[in-house]
Structure 1
Amino acid sequence: MSGKNTNKAALPSLKQLMATQNPLQMQVLMATLALANSESNALISDVLRGSGPIGTVSQGDPMGAGEAFREVGNSLARNPTALMNANMELMQGWMQLWQEMATEALSGDTPPVRDKRFADPEWENNPSFKFIRKAYEVNSKWLMGLADHAPDIPDNIHLRAKFFTQQLTDTLSPTNYLGTNPQALRAFIETGGESVLNGIRLARADVKKAGGKLHISQTDETPFELGKNIATAPGKVVFRNDLIELIQYAPTQETVYSRPLLIFPPWINKFYILDLREENSMIRWLVDKGLTVFVVSWRSADEVTKDYTWDDYSKNGVYAAVEAALQASGSKKLNAVGYCIGGTLLSGTLAHMAANGDDRVAAATFFASQSDFELAGDLKVFTDGPGRGYIDSVIEENGGVMPGAMMYETFNWLRPIDLVWRYVIDQYMLGKTPRPFDLLYWNADQTNIPGKVHKRYLRDCYSKNKLSRGKFKLFGEKVNLKDVKIPVMVQASRDDHICPFESVYRTATVFGGDTKFVLSGSGHIAGVVNHPDSNKYQHWTGGDITPTGEEWLETAEEHPGSWWPYWWDWLKPKSGSRKKAAPPKDMGLGDAPGSYVRVRLQHIKLPLE
């Protein structure tokens, strides 16, 4: 038996804990529970005095969840056989549950629990909790399958129904409620009720900090300071306009490759995920390889940039950064990187450059980026009629800006078990104070987005998939990604919930030149930012591009560790000859990480006039 299992077995059962409570301890528990109830009522009053969840509009069902559920119900009503099959699955699930409970009670054998939510030994050792867990599993499986049984609903309704059913089943998990969470009940008894009382006070503090809205604090942000213990790679801001700051990083080698590397990160988050800590900094790793590295730092949308368009981002973002980087480096060409939406912008701009004979970008790499959105996953829920209508109303209520706070909540609810309910349990039920964690500090450091840019992204890319079809317009001209004939490498992450593997793979099929594809383990962040020294995860490499990602993966070769060395083997021969290194020129614009990155959401008051 491993040490981990031994520790679990050593935990006192709830029955044992209750047996040890004397009458005075029980009175203390009841008194604390009464105080917690009072604090709960105060918390409810705090929220009611606020304006509801962050970024939302006062509508009953703005995302059309009810419509999707009704369509599923109507479809099943029109198809009695499909309804009967769905109900038969539920009945079979319950029959199997009773059989399993009886069999396991006789034999004592239980299969291992794979769901990390149910790691507490009480879920296996206590028959009542075991039944609750298994009943939840049966019911949630049935609920998740209902939309699949409905034979005649449109694809967008099917996706919406599945998405909101997943939200519902995750919310109904017994681990999310004090009375059915053995870990929380144990803490409640052991602390004399203080855990719950502390949790409610933490919730009230979160509501107060967010101005009456429930905004869960995932980490203690106080120990972190940009330029001091995160985003510390040395460099200079060598260019600034109203939209971007361009940072050039100081060389660490006596000679550098003549062709610089220019990185366009997403403007939904801030660039320093690529320079979070010294030991995992991609920027430092690239500089140590001998590259002159430039990174774009996007301005969070405010009164100055709230009316910017996609064309403005291409002109004042990509084109301006390319020109400034070439001037600063003295090179005639550069290589470029686009991460997530930064890659979407880059790909369209590259097509515009190709159509107009601009060959200043010699090669491009795309990190977890989509230019084909046919299989874009759960985020497409926000791009059909109700979803886009809701987003439009949020933007209107916030002065023409998509608020970063709502983007933060949206991405959290794409992975609610890990990014919402985990913190509800740890903080509000167990009473644990959030701990410092640099990745979560970055995750909470969101940016506002110009409404016109965001609406066009959702409409023309996600909903209509114009970019991959040659129908997307830039500066009034239709751009065709097949015109992009420079060498391209596309990276995807196997477990990416924002830019799914198959969706990113389709992006590898849209360009007109030599394209390589590499798949990494993990998700949207850890799959990209995986320093070779960490010896974590794995990656897959293969041969020619095939019609689907699964076909490509069948013949791909798996390798342990980071994909960065594979990328460097591809990028190095495209980086030119070596030349003497020179430090970035001091343009009087300040040191890295610059000034735009330091602007946090609380510095920008929405709605803007």
Structure 2
Amino acid sequence: MTTSQDQSPELTEEHLERLKENMNKVEELSKRLVEVMAGKKGHNPALDGPNQELFARAATAYFSEAWQNPAKLMEHQIEFWGKSVLNFAEAQKAMTTGEVDDSDTAPKDKRFSNPMWEANPYFRFIRQQYQTNAEVITQAVASVEDMDEKDKKRLRYFSQQIIDMMSPTNFLATNPDALEKAVETEGQSLIKGLENLVADLEANDGEMVVRLADESAFEVGGNIATTPGEVVYRNRLMELIQYKPETETVCETPLVLFPPWINKFYILDLKAQNSLIKWVTEQGYTLFVVSWVNANESHADIGMGDYVEEGFLTAIEQVKSICKVKQVNAVGYCIAGTTLSLTLSLLKQRGDKSIKSATFFTALTDFGDQGEFTPFLQNDFVDGIEDQISKDGILKAWVVGRTMSFLRSNDLIYGPAIRSYMMGETPPAFDLLFWNGDGANLPGRMAVEYLRGLCQSNDFVNDGFELLGHKLHVRDVDVPLMAITCETDHIAAWKDCYRGVQQMGSKSKTFIVSESGHIAGIVNPPSKKKYGHYTNTNLKADAETWMKEAEYHQGSWWPRWEAWLKKRSGKQVQARTPGDSDHPPLAPAPGTYVLVKSTN
């Protein structure tokens, strides 16, 4: 048995007076909050949740099962009642005796790390009942049988979102950390929290987008994205950056890297210690990186075909011209890897051999299994996105950012919101989170083509994806390739990437699974010696067998990739300074497009 302890500080009359004064300031801030919300721009409600038909179908299926098997329903209900009564009885006993039972077997949850969740009868009861309720909801959803698997997957996801949203830690009156700090700071933490909330709402036109990092701590081109280079070409869609060589000689075949345009490219150049861009130049390569435009309404009609023609093909031609070569090695990350595959199919059909080899970072080409994005890739959501795009011309960054965050809502939404809005803390000076919040708008036409033709219809591996007068297919990808995937990637699951690579027509394929996720598994410098990787030359096996038979290697995959790339990069030539007479430097790296912020 453990004894409950009073952890509250002693309150004097002076202390209470200051607390009241601060509460009056909270009231003033609340008025500002109301004004911000009154000016909030509307958006399609489909972006906020699934069509109500999903829950209606679930309820119908649940009660149909209950009518056919009432004993099962009663068993669940009686179990719920029993646990609830026991929770209440234990709380009553603790308040009477001042002692709490220390035999709680509930699974550990970092949200409830404050000792008061165990020692204080009030908070203990709230936690226990929340966990009981969550268990019952999860059990009820699992018992629904008369629904197809896709709808059941969505139902599980959205019910879990409701469970997470209703956590007692998300409310001031039932969050001991926030209450303790409010008393300790005489209410100043709540004032600061409201100031943070109002500032975030004002910055996003009333949309709730939690700021994850202290933006004042970073400057793109100042203390992040600092590898030396020059913009050597620019069009309406992209800036092409050529990086300064770090060796006296370089491989003859240049390397052009296409990052995703959903985010900014400098994830690969956050700081010198973990910069893939800097590391590549140090290995003796002429490196070009594309920096995509942050779309606005004028880019509404830009489609996937424009990204291929004005982005990929134009960049490749510019690199060939600057370096006076006939071929380049290409890298595509995430959606840019998907688009690199489309480009390779197009070049194959045109008989163009400009790309000597291709590297794919966490790139999906087979969308047959939608994975964790299943809840967001059904027609009710995509219809809502398409309708909003028809009004805005673009898919705004906050929509994409919020969707990604909700896949890890406790870590990327509720936890940061509690620290910022309830505790009044300044977000951390963390470069990765700063980058995560620096999203990019997407051209409307491109977003719809990607969602409908690739994600939903999976045309690239089915009947072919129609683009630029061609029907493109994954089997046309036939250059030597290496695919880097990540073991815990929740955006581009490695098994799904593997399935796509298996269908590519290349005779030379190398497949690697790095430890960690979508970002950390890629930004994995050899100096850190943090995450290892897996290799297996048998790409005919299914994914489970591939991993079971794979060989594990300590450390980063970067050196393995570089050794593979070196064999496909030709002889050594004199290092190239950025640009030439036909491509004079337009701006120092990281360029100008990357500095443009998204607005809501």
**Could you say whether these structures have the same fold, taking a TM-score greater than 0.5 normalized by the shorter chain as the test?**
yes
The counterpart of 2:317, out of the listed 316, 320, 323, is 323
* Superimposed CA distance per residue, residues 312-339 of structure 1 (whole angstroms, 9 cap, x where no aligned partner): 1111111111111111222222211111
In 2, Cα distance between the equivalents of 1:474 and 1:83? Answer: 55
Which residue of structure 2 aligns with residue 39 of structure 1?
29
* Superimposed CA distance per residue, residues 245-275 of structure 1 (whole angstroms, 9 cap, x where no aligned partner): 1111111111111222111111111111111
In 2, Cα distance between the equivalents of 1:61 and 1:266? Answer: 23
Q: 1:487 to 1:123 in 2, by over 3 A?
A: farther
* Superimposed CA distance per residue, residues 51-95 of structure 1 (whole angstroms, 9 cap, x where no aligned partner): 25xxx32x4886434221111111112223678647645654775
Equivalent position SS for 1:372: coil
Which residue of structure 2 aligns with residue 512 of structure 1?
505
The counterpart of 2:6, out of the listed 15, 20, 26, is 15
Asked if structure 2 preserves the Cα contact closer than 8 Å seen for 1:113 and 1:119, the reply is no
The counterpart of 1:526, out of the listed 493, 515, 520, is 520
Q: 1:484 to 1:170 in 2, by over 3 A?
A: same
**Are residue 458 (structure 1) and residue 448 (structure 2) matched?**
no
Q: 1:189 to 1:106 in 2, by over 3 A?
A: closer
Which residue of structure 2 aligns with residue 68 of structure 1?
54
Equivalent position SS for 2:301: coil
Which residue of structure 2 aligns with residue 601 of structure 1?
598
Asked if structure 1 preserves the Cα contact closer than 8 Å seen for 2:100 and 2:121, the reply is no
The counterpart of 2:461, out of the listed 468, 472, 484, is 468
* Superimposed CA distance per residue, residues 297-324 of structure 1 (whole angstroms, 9 cap, x where no aligned partner): 1112235432111111111111111111
Q: 1:27 to 1:499 in 2, by over 3 A?
A: same
Q: 1:172 to 1:278 in 2, by over 3 A?
A: same
Q: CA deviation at 1:153?
A: 1.5
Instruction: Provide structure 1 residue ranges, at least 5 long, that are not aligned to the other structure.
Output: 1-8
What aligned pairs does 1:440-451 form with structure 2 within 5 A after superposition? 440-451=433-444
Q: 1:390 to 1:86 in 2, by over 3 A?
A: farther
Q: 1:424 to 1:50 in 2, by over 3 A?
A: same
What aligned pairs does 1:376-525 form with structure 2 within 5 A after superposition? 376-398=370-392, 400-513=393-506, 514-525=508-519
Which residue of structure 2 aligns with residue 210 of structure 1?
204
Equivalent position SS for 1:364: strand
Amino acid aligned to 1:130: R
What aligned pairs does 1:185-204 form with structure 2 within 5 A after superposition? 185-204=179-198
Q: 1:287 to 1:146 in 2, by over 3 A?
A: farther
Q: 1:64 to 1:215 in 2, by over 3 A?
A: closer
Q: CA deviation at 1:505?
A: 2.5
The counterpart of 1:300, out of the listed 294, 305, 308, is 294
Asked if structure 2 preserves the Cα contact closer than 8 Å seen for 1:380 and 1:462, the reply is no
Equivalent position SS for 1:530: coil
Which shows bigger deviation, 573-582 or 125-134? 125-134
In 2, Cα distance between the equivalents of 1:451 and 1:490? Answer: 29
In 2, Cα distance between the equivalents of 1:474 and 1:290? Answer: 36
Amino acid aligned to 1:78: S
Q: 1:560 to 1:188 in 2, by over 3 A?
A: farther
TM-score where L is the length of structure 2:
0.90
Which residue of structure 2 aligns with residue 592 of structure 1?
589
* Superimposed CA distance per residue, residues 487-531 of structure 1 (whole angstroms, 9 cap, x where no aligned partner): 222222222222223322322222112322212222221121111
Q: CA deviation at 1:97?
A: 8.1
The counterpart of 2:65, out of the listed 67, 79, 86, is 79
Equivalent position SS for 2:360: strand
Q: CA deviation at 1:561?
A: 3.0
Equivalent position SS for 2:503: coil
In 1, Cα distance between the equivalents of 2:113 and 2:364? Answer: 36
Query: How many residues are matched?
Result: 587
Which shows bigger deviation, 201-210 or 80-89? 80-89
* Superimposed CA distance per residue, residues 541-577 of structure 1 (whole angstroms, 9 cap, x where no aligned partner): 2231255433322222333332222322332222222
Query: What is the percentage of aligned positions where both structures have the same residue?
Result: 37
Q: 1:588 to 1:23 in 2, by over 3 A?
A: closer
What aligned pairs does 1:176-325 form with structure 2 within 5 A after superposition? 176-325=170-319
In 1, Cα distance between the equivalents of 2:270 and 2:202? Answer: 29
Q: 1:491 to 1:146 in 2, by over 3 A?
A: farther
Amino acid aligned to 1:226: V
In 2, Cα distance between the equivalents of 1:113 and 1:179? Answer: 23
Asked if structure 1 preserves the Cα contact closer than 8 Å seen for 2:486 and 2:494, the reply is yes
Output the aligned Cα RMSD: 2.8
Asked if structure 1 preserves the Cα contact closer than 8 Å seen for 2:286 and 2:576, the reply is no
Q: CA deviation at 1:459?
A: 0.5
Q: 1:527 to 1:152 in 2, by over 3 A?
A: same
Which residue of structure 2 aligns with residue 49 of structure 1?
39
Amino acid aligned to 2:587: G
Q: 1:86 to 1:488 in 2, by over 3 A?
A: farther
Asked if structure 1 preserves the Cα contact closer than 8 Å seen for 2:377 and 2:451, the reply is yes
Q: 1:333 to 1:91 in 2, by over 3 A?
A: farther
Amino acid aligned to 1:70: A
Asked if structure 1 preserves the Cα contact closer than 8 Å seen for 2:192 and 2:421, the reply is yes
Asked if structure 2 preserves the Cα contact closer than 8 Å seen for 1:159 and 1:381, the reply is yes
In 2, Cα distance between the equivalents of 1:184 and 1:106? Answer: 23
In 1, Cα distance between the equivalents of 2:140 and 2:562? Answer: 47
Which residue of structure 2 aligns with residue 3 of structure 1?
none
Q: CA deviation at 1:21?
A: 2.3
Asked if structure 2 preserves the Cα contact closer than 8 Å seen for 1:262 and 1:335, the reply is yes
Amino acid aligned to 2:7: Q
* Superimposed CA distance per residue, residues 385-443 of structure 1 (whole angstroms, 9 cap, x where no aligned partner): 21111101211221x21122322222222221111112211111001122332222222
Which residue of structure 1 aligns with residue 114 of structure 2?
120
Which shows bigger deviation, 428-437 or 129-138? 129-138
Q: CA deviation at 1:451?
A: 0.7
Q: 1:276 to 1:171 in 2, by over 3 A?
A: same
Equivalent position SS for 1:222: helix
TM-score where L is the length of structure 1:
0.89
Which residue of structure 2 aligns with residue 6 of structure 1?
none
* Superimposed CA distance per residue, residues 113-137 of structure 1 (whole angstroms, 9 cap, x where no aligned partner): 6422222222233343333333323
Q: 1:340 to 1:258 in 2, by over 3 A?
A: same
Q: 1:109 to 1:158 in 2, by over 3 A?
A: closer
Which residue of structure 1 aligns with residue 349 of structure 2?
355
Q: CA deviation at 1:139?
A: 2.3
Equivalent position SS for 1:519: strand
Q: 1:221 to 1:554 in 2, by over 3 A?
A: same
Q: 1:85 to 1:258 in 2, by over 3 A?
A: farther
Amino acid aligned to 2:531: Y
Asked if structure 1 preserves the Cα contact closer than 8 Å seen for 2:256 and 2:316, the reply is yes
